[in-house]
Structure 1
């Protein structure tokens, strides 16, 4: 017996109630359903405040694992598989899946920007075989948000490394500044629509 007629709705509500900031659904390799979860994080750079950031990362990690445990337990109780990768995952980059699941759009600085929560997000994933409804691109208000990000230019003008040039982000210009603690593009990026 299924616990709810709309498993997708139930899982999303469960994720948000358990502590996730965002929850979306997509597929990997166009076949395997994936639940993408977003968790709030700070734009304060680790090397400037290692103790407070370490505590915050620990708290965010614990929340991520708790949310994923809750969802995995539900999915498994309904006969579905549930394997997850936390915010610490070395599995791969969850940013493309977050965009595909409707949790945000690519910012000009290569970070995922959510229209309500800005750029301070960490992502985790649950891989399953449950018949989840994939977040429809039509349901996402991305066009206005993408235009906002294109027109905004705040991350570009705030960058001391001049890492944005010719409509391209230059990682090797950014890296020496980032290592020293620069996070100006994250601090200024609110990502919210006015």
Structure 2
């Protein structure tokens, strides 16, 4: 199968099996990466506090299944694969997500997708398959959907957004308690 057909096949397979978004980009401008977005809602913290682990486990199972299917296909075609799951604590997927055209930087430092807001968990497959990455221009030419409204900044109880800088050490104590105030007020989210 040529790489264009393989790329189409992988995208379709991922979307049909639980991924909400699929994009392609390169890390260090040379190594292809497949980025996939999966369901997430800040409401899980509030509506399902007891079963939060179960909800995350369900999404993890779906995403891992998609990654396993894609890795198997890539290996069958002779390509190398490594991947990081939605629960990976190493690495920051946000720059790759933006580069793949799946969202843009929100004022709150999160990636905001036009359809799903910042309600996504991301997984990545690193490969040597020579995929095309022309979709990295999608958001550069489209209408921006994260406005300058600054509602996320104004609503932050930790005052984590100060002097155009995001202060993680201020945000974390609130976030660990399930704050998500910046997500709730974001006009781009479907909360």
Q: Same fold (TM over 0.5)?
A: yes
Verify the 8 A CA contact 2:23 2:135 in the aligned structure 1. Answer: no
- In the superposition, the TM-score normalised over structure 2's length comes to 0.88
1:79 and 2:78 correspond: yes
1:34 corresponds to which residue? 33
Verify the 8 A CA contact 2:4 2:131 in the aligned structure 1. Answer: no
Distance 1:149 1:140 in 2: 11
Question: What pairs with 1:22-101 in structure 2 (closer than 5 Å)?
Answer: 22-44=21-43, 46=45, 49-101=48-100
1:126 corresponds to which residue? 125
- In the superposition, the TM-score normalised over structure 1's length comes to 0.87
Distance 1:154 1:17 in 2: 35
Question: What pairs with 1:1-194 in structure 2 (closer than 5 Å)?
Answer: 2=1, 6-44=5-43, 46=45, 49-140=48-139, 144-145=143-144, 148-191=145-188
5+ residue gaps, structure 1, are none
Residue deviations 1:133-170 (CA, integer Å, cap 9, x gap): 1143333356522xx42422121122122222222222
Distance 2:163 2:156 in 1: 14
1:128–1:117 distance in 2 versus 1, CA, 3 Å:
same
Verify the 8 A CA contact 2:25 2:136 in the aligned structure 1. Answer: no
What is the aligned-residue RMSD (CA, Å)?
Answer: 2.2
Structure 1 runs of 4+ aligned residues shifted over 3 Å read 44-50
* Matched residue count: 189
5+ residue gaps, structure 2, are none
Verify the 8 A CA contact 2:101 2:137 in the aligned structure 1. Answer: no
Secondary structure, in 3 states, of the residue corresponding to 1:19? coil
